[in-house]
Amino acid sequence: MTEDGPSRSAESALRERVKELTCLYEIAQLAAGPIGQLDGILQGAVEVIRRAWQYPEIAHVRIVLDSREYLSPGFRDGAQRQSAPIVVGGVRRGKVEVLYSEVMAELDEGPFMKEERALLEAVAAQVASIVERREAEAERAALQEQLRHADRLATIGQLAAGVAHELNEPLNNVLGFAQLAKKHPSVVGQVKADIDRIETAALHARSTIRKLLVFARQAPPQMTDVDINQVVEEGLQFFQSRCASEGIILTVALCPGPPRIAADPSQLNQVLVNLVVNAMQAMPNGGRLAVSTGVSEQSVFLSVEDTGIGMTDEVAAKLFVPFFTTKDVGQGTGLGLPVAHGIVTSHGGTIRVESSPGQGTRITIELPWGRTEGCT
């Protein structure tokens, strides 16, 4: 008896140790899966953890991460439990918890052994490491996509500048000869109307070329001291009647006395017009269009918000890609928002998009300023 007791005890301790090592190994194997499968890893981990405890048949496991729960199959709550925090980058993000659905005899920590406490803390640390690694991988993938996007924009910008310069001279000739032809006394009636159409088309094409040049940053901004409120007031004058006729309620909220910023007023007006036109086109059946300005500690901001059709994350990600458009053929060039993005960037600012399908869109631009007066 004296020999069998220690032998059984050693055998039991060895079994528990094997279960602990198996638990950690299987979680590590789950973590070796593809990037972006964190939910699957954590859901798989709860079953792995359950098998490592002394009474797996009544053990239930819950992992909580950022308010999301991952539960073992048939999860039941229980009064006897132990838990360990998940700490990522010094911030507590959740916990790993093991519960017994039946009341068991007291051991080292309630019904749990001290070895289970050590294992639970090791598992929590392992989960934290997995979360940190997966988030770093996702961030790195997002950064690589941003770099690829920037490279595509630079290439398209160079192409756009070349095309614009090549088209400029022949287009100016078309426009010039059309204007000369109109002045001839023999040009009347249908011929004059046709020449008017040629002139209108040439002016539209020239406007598109100018947008290309702005996007390619071939047209440098003419910087002066600008009042953002004045830009908004002047720019919206052209939209008051149009909004009313299209069933759009336009509201304007201007921050009183914003600091002046160094900017090109005509380019900022173009940004505003592009954003407003885009918002109105997103509300074919009417809606609300809200334009507002404000000031933060380092920036003046302009926000254009609509109650239109909104967009998915996939569409929003392509919003500033030149020539990308969701509109029908002939309804848009796909240059309005890329041009706005180019102008804002050339002014040292940022542009942010918030949208969801059926919920409308808010686009906010922020432009730096260097003074301390003005509204907050």
Collapsing DSSP to helix, strand or coil, 137 comes out as: helix
DSSP assignments along 306-336, one per residue: E-S----HHHHHTTTSTT---SPTTS--S-H
- The Cβ-side half-sphere exposure at 148, using a 13 Å CA radius, reads 8
**Fold (topology level) of 4-140:** Beta-Lactamase (3.30.450)
In angstroms, the CA 109 to CA 29 distance is 29
**Fold (topology level) of 146-215:** Helix Hairpins (1.10.287)
**What rounded mean pLDDT belongs to the chain?**
80
pLDDT band at 2 (very low <50, low <70, confident <90, very high): very low
Query: Taking the domains of the chain in order of start, what are their residue ranges?
Result: 4-140, 146-215, 224-368
What pLDDT does 151 receive?
58
Residues of the chain above pLDDT 70, percent: 80
In angstroms, the CA 303 to CA 31 distance is 42
Instruction: Give how far Cα 336 sits from Cα of 165, 252, 275, 332, 341, Å.
Output: 19, 22, 8, 8, 9
Encode pLDDT of 220-267 as tens digits: 667 889 999 999 998 888 788 888 889 999 999 999 988 999 888 888
Closest C-alpha to 132, from 216, 41, 226 = 41
Whether the pLDDT of residue 278 is over 70: the answer is: yes
Contacts of 260 (CB under 8 A, 6+ apart): 225, 226, 227, 369, 371
In angstroms, the CA 263 to CA 132 distance is 41
- Burial label, 240 (beta-carbon count in 10 A; 0-12, 13-18, 19+): exposed
DSSP assignments along 36-86, one per residue: T-HHHHHHHHHHHHHHTSS-TTTEEEEEEETTEEEE-TT----SEEEEEEE
- Residues 146-166 have a mean pLDDT of 64
Closest C-alpha to 128, from 152, 93, 158, 153 = 93
- Burial label, 160 (beta-carbon count in 10 A; 0-12, 13-18, 19+): buried
What pLDDT does 331 receive?
47
- Torsion-angle region of 373 (φ positive above 0: left; ψ -120 to 50: alpha; else: beta): beta
E strand or H helix that includes residue 303: strand 299-306
Q: Which residues pair with 263 in a beta bridge?
A: 224
What pLDDT does 182 receive?
82
DSSP assignments along 210-272, one per residue: HHHHHHTT-S----EEE-HHHHHHHHHTTTHHHHHHTTEEEEEEPPSSPPPEEE-HHHHHHHH
- Residues 200-213 have a mean pLDDT of 76
Q: Which residues pair with 363 in a beta bridge?
A: 304, 353
E strand or H helix that includes residue 304: strand 299-306
Contacts of 317 (CB under 8 A, 6+ apart): none
* CATH hierarchy code of domain 224-368: 3.30.565.10
pTM exceeds 0.85 for this model: no
Residue labelled with tokens 């299987």: 26
In angstroms, the CA 54 to CA 63 distance is 19
